[in-house]
Amino acid sequence: MTTRIADSADVDPRARIGDGTSVWHLAQVREDAEIGPECIIGRGAYIGTGVRMGARCKVQNHALVYEPAVLEDGVFVGPAVVFTNDHFPRSVAPDGSLKRADDWEAVGVTCRQGASIGARAVCVAPVTIGRWAMVAAGAVVTRDVPDFALVAGVPAKRVRWVGRAGEPLEDDGNGRWRCPVTGQTYTETDGHLTEASS
């Protein structure tokens, strides 16, 4: 597999880029970032210092993934998404002096396997986006998102369940849900969804 890095991309030599990954025009990948194999980093995207990404992730144009974010395998980050990293952002300390790197503690967003974040969504750290969950375009996520949940709005709230295919699930009754695409069934218990064993 060929790794492709556009001439206009700014990839720090201390970053680790997996086989078959593409880093497109004007993207920036900072020092000590770990990008897995077969990923796509879109035009103008920013990947912060020490961010960790698994295999086959897609970070679309102009997304901002600030450290210490963690993206597991197969995560999709839509255009212009922002992952924050500061609980109480200030440019200056109480005495008016410019804040430095040691003056605050970075907190990160974690995206579990297969999660998708829609265009222009904002994920306010520290939050965890569950496995195969979806965040609607323009949502503002301020709380953890359960596995397989579709959340939307400001602040984001669960509006549906979705399966691995990304399609809204159909209610089979008695806490059972079915994917209209794959036929996979799921079980809902106490506000959480799990894949049924059969």
Question: How many residues are given for the chain?
Answer: 198
Query: Do 75 and 123 form a contact (C-beta atoms < 8 A)?
Result: no
pLDDT at residue number 103: 82
pLDDT at residue number 198: 56
SS3 content of the chain, % helix, strand, coil (to 5): 0, 35, 65
Q: Which residues of 37-55 are buried (b: 16+ CB within 10 A; e: fewer)?
A: bbbbbbbbbbbbbbbbbbb
Query: Do 135 and 154 form a contact (C-beta atoms < 8 A)?
Result: no
Query: Do 129 and 110 form a contact (C-beta atoms < 8 A)?
Result: yes
- The share of the chain scoring above pLDDT 70, in percent, equals 99
Query: Do 126 and 85 form a contact (C-beta atoms < 8 A)?
Result: no
Q: What is the arithmetic mean of pLDDT over 83-110?
A: 91
pLDDT at residue number 87: 85
- The share of the chain scoring above pLDDT 90, in percent, equals 92
What is the Cα 178 distance to its own chain's centre? Answer: 25
Query: Do 109 and 127 form a contact (C-beta atoms < 8 A)?
Result: yes
Nearest to 22, CA basis, from 68, 53, 49, 67: 53
Residue 96: how many other CB atoms lie within 10 Å: 6
3-state secondary structure of 102: helix
Report the mean per-residue pLDDT for the chain. 96
Indicate the pTM of the whole model: 0.95
pLDDT at residue number 69: 98
Spell out where 21-123 has E strands: 22-23, 28-29, 34-35, 40-41, 46-47, 52-53, 58-59, 64-65, 70-71, 76-77, 82-83, 110-111, 116-117, 122-123
Q: What is the arithmetic mean of pLDDT over 71-100?
A: 94
pLDDT at 53 exceeding the cut of 80: yes
Strand partners, 128: 110
Task: Give the pLDDT confidence of 143-191 residue by residue, as tens digits.
Answer: 999 999 999 999 999 999 999 999 999 999 999 999 999 999 999 999 9
Tell me which amino acid residue 40 is. I
pLDDT at residue number 121: 98
